[in-house]
Amino acid sequence: MHLVDLWLTRSLSMCLLLQSFVLLILCFLSASMCPKGCLCSHTGGLNVSCSNANLTEIPRDLPSETVLLYLDSNQITSIPNEIFKDLHQLRVLNLSKNGIEFIDEHAFKGVAETLQTLDLSDNRIKSVHKNAFNNLKARARIANNPWHCDCTLQQVLWSMASNHETANNVICKTSVLDEHAGRPFLNAANDADLCDLPKKTTDYAMLVTMFGWFTMVISYVVYYVRQNQEDARRHLEYLKSLPSRQKKPDEADDISTVVLH
């Protein structure tokens, strides 16, 4: 019995030692795989923090098991196509407080359906491709950007999950309608369908063109009628100005003779 207890004690010690060794290896691997300038830790999954790391672009060596990724407060200016495509476990992505101006059409391909939180606030984003946020299920934060409110932005916001909340925080820096500049996008969209404006503009242009042609035709007809009236008046005055035809004396005698007979 003493031998059994001794064996169990040693086995338990070996198991604990082996477990510690495995965790140490995992920590070492995680640290070695962590992008330069970033800190990696395991808390309910791999958390990668690259905040305030003076990054000018998104690291391309991010660990595939990343769950939380913090890239805020850097100098990142763009989000390239498929940059996150291998991060199939990514749940939180923070890209706030950068200088982001461009988001490619397929920037979030591979993570659009798994992301729960996407923070793009406090950047320099004016517009995005209409498909940039396709299939995005995350609660997006896109406030404090110099948005240009137009049909494309309307399509983007209406296609996003929780779009009402997202649109309510978007302020139009500029707009296709000058009166919407400085106003929340939601108010602008309620006032006018921004995707219907080109059609209305085309309709107005066609109406103005048709009215112009109609006015020109009417003006020509009026001019033509007046010109004919003037010509007719002149011709009548000319006829009136001609001297009356005088009868010859012999013609008068012949007439008298005929009457007497």
| Most confident listed range (75-84, 173-182, 192-201, 214-223) | 75-84
pLDDT digits (tens, 9 = 90+) for 125-139: 999 999 999 888 899
pLDDT of residue 204: 47
> Quick one: pLDDT band at residue 220, thresholds 50, 70, 90?
low
pLDDT digits (tens, 9 = 90+) for 54-66: 999 999 999 999 9
Q: Would you say residue 26 has pLDDT above 70?
A: no
Spell 166-182 as b/e; 16+ CB within 10 A means b: bbebbbbebbbbeebee
**Cα distances (angstroms) measured from residue 166 to each of 79, 139, 170, 180, 185:** 20, 8, 7, 17, 10
* % of the chain residues with pLDDT over 70: 64
